Structure 1
Amino acid sequence: MGFFNRLKESLSKTRQGLVEKIENLITGRQVIDESLYEELEEALIGADVGVETSLELMETLRRRVKEQKLRDPARLKPLLQELITDELGTGDSSLNRGGPPTVILVVGVNGVGKTTTIGKLAYYYKTRGERVLLGAADTFRAAAIDQLEIWGRRVGVDVIKHREGSDPAAVAYDALQAARARKMDMLIIDTAGRLHTKSNLMEELKKIRRVLGRELSGAPHEVLLVLDATTGQNAISQARLFSEATGVTGIVLTKLDGTARGGVIIGIRRMLNIPVKFIGIGEGVEDLQPFNPQEFAAALFD
Structure 2
Amino acid sequence: MDIVILAVVIAVVVIGALGGLVVGSRRRKQLPPPPTAPEITAPPAEPHVGEEAETPRDEPRRTIEEVDLPLVEPGASAPVVVEEPPAPAAPEIEIPEPTAGRLVRLRARLSRSQNALGKGLLTLLSREHLDEDTWEEIEDILLTADVGVAPTQELVERLRERVKVLGTRTPEELRGLLREELLKLVGTDFDRTVNTESALDTPGIVMVVGVNGTGKTTTTGKLARVLVADRKSVVLGAADTFRAAAADQLQTWGERVGARTVRGPEAGDPASVAYDAVKEGIAEGADVVLIDTAGRLHTKTGLMDELGKVKRVVEKHAPLDEVLLVLDATTGQNGLVQARVFAEVVDITGIVLTKLDGTAKGGIVVAVQRELGVPVKLVGLGEGADDLAPFEPEAFVDALIGE
User: Normalising by structure 2, what TM-score?
Assistant: 0.69
Deviation digits for residues 157-180 of structure 1 (CA, Å, limit 9, x no counterpart): 100111011111111111111100
When residues 257 and 26 of structure 1 are mapped into structure 2, their CA distance, relative to the original with a 3 A threshold, is same
Instruction: State the match for 2:223 in structure 1.
Output: 121
Instruction: State the match for 1:60 in structure 2.
Output: 158
Deviation digits for residues 167-223 of structure 1 (CA, Å, limit 9, x no counterpart): 11111111111100100100000011122853212221011111122321xx21100
- Whether 2:124 is the aligned partner of 1:25: answer yes
Instruction: State the match for 1:274 in structure 2.
Output: 374
Tell me how far 1:14 sits from its aligned partner.
2.1
Q: Could you tell me whether the CA contact under 8 Å between 2:122 and 2:174 is conserved in 1? A: no
Q: Could you tell me whether the CA contact under 8 Å between 1:136 and 1:189 is conserved in 2? A: yes
Counterparts of residues 87-106 of structure 1 (less than 5 Å): 87-88=185-186, 89-96=188-195, 97-98=197-198, 99=200, 100-106=202-208
Instruction: State the match for 2:295 in structure 1.
Output: 193
Tell me how far 1:84 sits from its aligned partner.
1.5
Instruction: State the match for 1:84 in structure 2.
Output: 182
Give the letter for the 1:295 counterpart.
Answer: A
Structure 2 Cα separation of the partners of residues 90 and 238 of structure 1: 25
Larger radius of gyration: 2
Partner SS for 1:124: helix
Match of 1:211 among 291, 313, 338: 313
Q: Could you tell me whether the CA contact under 8 Å between 1:87 and 1:270 is conserved in 2? A: no
Partner SS for 2:286: coil
Counterparts of residues 291-302 of structure 1 (less than 5 Å): 291-302=391-402
- Which ranges in structure 1 are unaligned for 5 or more consecutive residues? none
- Whether 2:148 is the aligned partner of 1:43: answer no
When residues 10 and 295 of structure 1 are mapped into structure 2, their CA distance, relative to the original with a 3 A threshold, is closer
Match of 1:71 among 140, 147, 167: 167
Instruction: State the match for 1:160 in structure 2.
Output: 262
Match of 1:171 among 266, 273, 277: 273
Q: Could you tell me whether the CA contact under 8 Å between 2:102 and 2:389 is conserved in 1? A: no
Partner SS for 1:90: coil
Partner SS for 2:316: helix
Match of 2:111 among 11, 19, 25: 11
Task: Return the structure number with greater helix share.
Answer: 1
Q: Could you tell me whether the CA contact under 8 Å between 2:327 and 2:353 is conserved in 1? A: yes
Partner SS for 1:142: coil
CA RMSD, 1 decimal: 1.9
Structure 2 Cα separation of the partners of residues 215 and 247 of structure 1: 18
Q: Could you tell me whether the CA contact under 8 Å between 1:279 and 1:288 is conserved in 2? A: yes
Structure 2 Cα separation of the partners of residues 245 and 71 of structure 1: 50
Partner SS for 2:374: coil
When residues 48 and 35 of structure 1 are mapped into structure 2, their CA distance, relative to the original with a 3 A threshold, is same
Structure 2 Cα separation of the partners of residues 240 and 11 of structure 1: 29
Give the total of aligned pairs.
296
Partner SS for 2:323: strand
Structure 2 Cα separation of the partners of residues 72 and 214 of structure 1: 63
Tell me how far 1:268 sits from its aligned partner.
1.6
Percent sequence identity is: 48
Q: Could you tell me whether the CA contact under 8 Å between 1:139 and 1:164 is conserved in 2? A: yes
Tell me how far 1:275 sits from its aligned partner.
0.6
User: Normalising by structure 1, what TM-score?
Assistant: 0.91
Q: Could you tell me whether the CA contact under 8 Å between 1:145 and 1:161 is conserved in 2? A: yes
Give the letter for the 2:376 counterpart.
Answer: V
Partner SS for 1:214: coil
Instruction: State the match for 2:335 in structure 1.
Output: 235
- Which ranges in structure 2 are unaligned for 5 or more consecutive residues? 1-100
Deviation digits for residues 136-157 of structure 1 (CA, Å, limit 9, x no counterpart): 1001123111111111112221
Tell me how far 1:133 sits from its aligned partner.
0.4
When structure 1 is superposed on structure 2, of 227-236 and 48-57 the one drifting more is 48-57
- Whether 2:122 is the aligned partner of 1:34: answer no
